[in-house]
Structure 1
Amino acid sequence: MAEPASQRPKYNPTPCISPLDHTPLHETNGKTWVPLICCSAGFPQDLFETALEQLVHHPEYNSTLILRSDCLSETTEDFPDSIPALDGFTPSRCIHRKLLPRRPGRDAALEQYCTFYCAPSDHIPSVLVLTPIIPDSGSLPYYHPAVSHLAFRYITSAIGRGAATSVSDSGATPASGTATTSVDEPAATLRLEVDPLPSQPTTDITSPDVNSRLYRTGLALLETAHRYGWGALTQYKKRVHHDCLVPREPYQDLYLVMRARHRHLVDEWQESTDPLKHVFEDIGIATYLMLLWRYTFGDETRAEDEQAEALDSEPCGNGLLTHILVSEGYAGHGFDVRARVSWSHYPPATQQNLHVHALDPTSAADDALIPRGAFLIGNHADELTPWVPILATRQRSSGYISVPCCAWAFDTKYQRSRWAPYPTPEGFVEGLNLGGGGAVASSGYSMYRVWLASLSLHCGWDVETEALRIPSTRNWAIVGRKRVVGKDEEGSSNVEGILDEVRERGAFNARVPEGKAGEH
Structure 2
Amino acid sequence: MAQAQRPKFTPEIATIEAQPTQWVPMIRCPADFPLEIFELAILQLVHHPEYNSTLILRSEVLSERTNGFPASTPVLDGSEPAKCIHRKLLPRRPGRDAPLEQHCTFYASEGDAIDNLILTPTVPPGGSLPYYHPAVHHIRFRYLASSSNSADEPIPTTGTLQIEVDPLPGTPNDPNSRLYRTCLALLETVHRYGWGVMGNYKKRVIHDCVVPREPYQDLYLVMRERHKHLVDTWQEVTDPYKHVFEDIGIATFLVLLWKDTYKTSSPILESGDVEEFWKTWPRPPGGFIDFGCGNGLLTHILAAEGYAGVGIDVRARTSWSHYPASTQSSLKVHAFDPLSLEADSEIFKPGSFIIGNHADELTPWVPVVSRLTKASGYISIPCCAWVFDRKFDRARDKPFPYTEEKEGSFVAGLNLGGEGSNASSYSMYRIWLASVSQWCGWTNECEVLRIPSTRNWAVIGRKNLVTEGGAEEEWVERAREIIEEVRARGEFKPRKPEGKAGEH
Equivalent pair of 2:40/2:197 in contact (CA under 8 Å): yes
TM-score (norm 2): 0.92
5 Å-filtered alignment, 1:466-485, equals 466-485=447-466
Q: 1:377 aligns to what SS in structure 2?
A: strand
Equivalent pair of 2:262/2:282 in contact (CA under 8 Å): no
TM-aligned CA deviation for residue 514 of structure 1 = 1.3
Q: Distance in 1 between matches of 2:158 and 2:243?
A: 50
Q: 1:85 aligns to what SS in structure 2?
A: coil
Q: Distance in 1 between matches of 2:157 and 2:290?
A: 61
Q: Distance in 2 between matches of 1:149 and 1:216?
A: 16
Q: 2:503 aligns to what SS in structure 1?
A: coil
Equivalent residue number for residue 411 of structure 2: 429
Cα 1:384–1:80 shift into 2, 3 Å: same
Equivalent AA in structure 2 for residue 115 of structure 1: T
Equivalent AA in structure 1 for residue 165 of structure 2: V
Cα 1:502–1:432 shift into 2, 3 Å: same
Equivalent residue number for residue 78 of structure 2: 88
Q: Distance in 2 between matches of 1:304 and 1:126?
A: 49
Cα 1:518–1:417 shift into 2, 3 Å: farther
1:131 maps to which of 102, 117, 120: 120
Structure 2 gap segments, 5+ residues each: 151-155, 270-278
Deviations 1:195-225 (A, max 9, x none): 112x336xx44xxx21210111111000000
TM-aligned CA deviation for residue 484 of structure 1 = 1.3
Deviations 1:312-341 (A, max 9, x none): 0126x2000000000000000001111111
TM-aligned CA deviation for residue 488 of structure 1 = 2.0
Q: Distance in 2 between matches of 1:327 and 1:258?
A: 11
Q: Distance in 2 between matches of 1:505 and 1:4?
A: 46
Equivalent pair of 1:158/1:186 in contact (CA under 8 Å): no
1:267 maps to which of 209, 220, 232: 232
Q: Which moved more, 1:135-144 or 1:509-518?
A: 509-518
Percent identical across equivalent pairs? 61
2:30 maps to which of 22, 40, 55: 40
Q: Distance in 1 between matches of 2:283 and 2:218?
A: 24
Equivalent pair of 2:101/2:121 in contact (CA under 8 Å): yes
1:393 maps to which of 355, 362, 371: 371
Deviations 1:268-305 (A, max 9, x none): 10110000000000000000000000011128376995
Equivalent pair of 2:162/2:187 in contact (CA under 8 Å): yes
Q: Distance in 2 between matches of 1:472 and 1:131?
A: 36
Equivalent pair of 2:105/2:119 in contact (CA under 8 Å): yes
Equivalent residue number for residue 142 of structure 1: 131
Equivalent residue number for residue 11 of structure 2: 13
Q: Which moved more, 1:238-247 or 1:422-431?
A: 422-431
Q: Which moved more, 1:364-373 or 1:227-236?
A: 364-373
RMSD of Structure 2 on Structure 1 (CA): 1.9
Equivalent residue number for residue 214 of structure 1: 179
Q: Distance in 2 between matches of 1:471 and 1:511?
A: 30
Equivalent residue number for residue 452 of structure 1: 433
Equivalent pair of 2:139/2:165 in contact (CA under 8 Å): yes
Equivalent residue number for residue 181 of structure 1: none
Alignment length (residue pairs): 478
Q: Distance in 2 between matches of 1:147 and 1:51?
A: 22
Q: 1:193 aligns to what SS in structure 2?
A: strand
TM-score (norm 1): 0.89
Cα 1:292–1:160 shift into 2, 3 Å: closer
Equivalent pair of 1:308/1:330 in contact (CA under 8 Å): no
Larger radius of gyration: 1
Equivalent AA in structure 2 for residue 329 of structure 1: G
Equivalent residue number for residue 493 of structure 2: 509
Q: Distance in 1 between matches of 2:425 and 2:282?
A: 42
Cα 1:421–1:99 shift into 2, 3 Å: same
TM-aligned CA deviation for residue 5 of structure 1 = 6.5
Q: Which moved more, 1:246-255 or 1:416-425?
A: 416-425
Equivalent residue number for residue 303 of structure 2: 326
Q: 1:55 aligns to what SS in structure 2?
A: helix
TM-aligned CA deviation for residue 490 of structure 1 = 1.8
5 Å-filtered alignment, 1:210-249, equals 210-249=175-214
Q: 2:130 aligns to what SS in structure 1?
A: coil
Structure 1 gap segments, 5+ residues each: 25-30, 162-184
Q: 1:369 aligns to what SS in structure 2?
A: coil
Q: Distance in 1 between matches of 2:377 and 2:495?
A: 25
Equivalent pair of 1:243/1:467 in contact (CA under 8 Å): yes
Equivalent residue number for residue 169 of structure 1: none
Cα 1:61–1:502 shift into 2, 3 Å: same
TM-aligned CA deviation for residue 393 of structure 1 = 0.3
Equivalent pair of 1:159/1:186 in contact (CA under 8 Å): no
Equivalent pair of 2:379/2:461 in contact (CA under 8 Å): yes
Cα 1:304–1:296 shift into 2, 3 Å: closer
5 Å-filtered alignment, 1:366-405, equals 366-405=344-383
Equivalent pair of 1:54/1:228 in contact (CA under 8 Å): yes
Equivalent AA in structure 2 for residue 387 of structure 1: W
1:115 maps to which of 95, 105, 120: 105
Q: Which moved more, 1:262-271 or 1:418-427?
A: 418-427
Equivalent pair of 2:258/2:284 in contact (CA under 8 Å): no
